[in-house]
Amino acid sequence: GSSVKQGKKRERRANNQLSRLALSALETGAGPPTEKLKVRKAMVVVATWRDRLRLLAVKRCLQGGVLVHLAASRTLQLLFGIDADLAADTKDADQSQAAEDKRIAQFRSAEREKEREKKMSKSRREKGAMMEQEDLLEVC
- DSSP secondary structure of 28-76: H---PPPEEEEETTEEEEE-SHHHHHHHHHHHHHH-S-HHHHHHH-HHH
pLDDT tens digits, 17-56: 878 877 887 788 777 778 888 888 888 888 888 888 888 8
Per-range mean pLDDT, top range of 43-47, 83-87, 88-92, 96-100 = 43-47
Of the two residues 88 and 46, the one the predictor is more confident about is: 46
Cα 20 to the chain's mean position, in Å?
32
CB atoms within 10 A of CB 117: 10
Q: How confident is the model at residue 123 (pLDDT cuts 50, 70, 90)?
A: very high
Closest to 35 measured CA to CA, from 44, 24, 46: 46
Rounded to 10 deg, the angle between the 49-62 and 2-28 helix axes is 180
Total number of residues shown for the chain: 140
Provide φ and ψ at 82, rounded to 5°: -90, 135
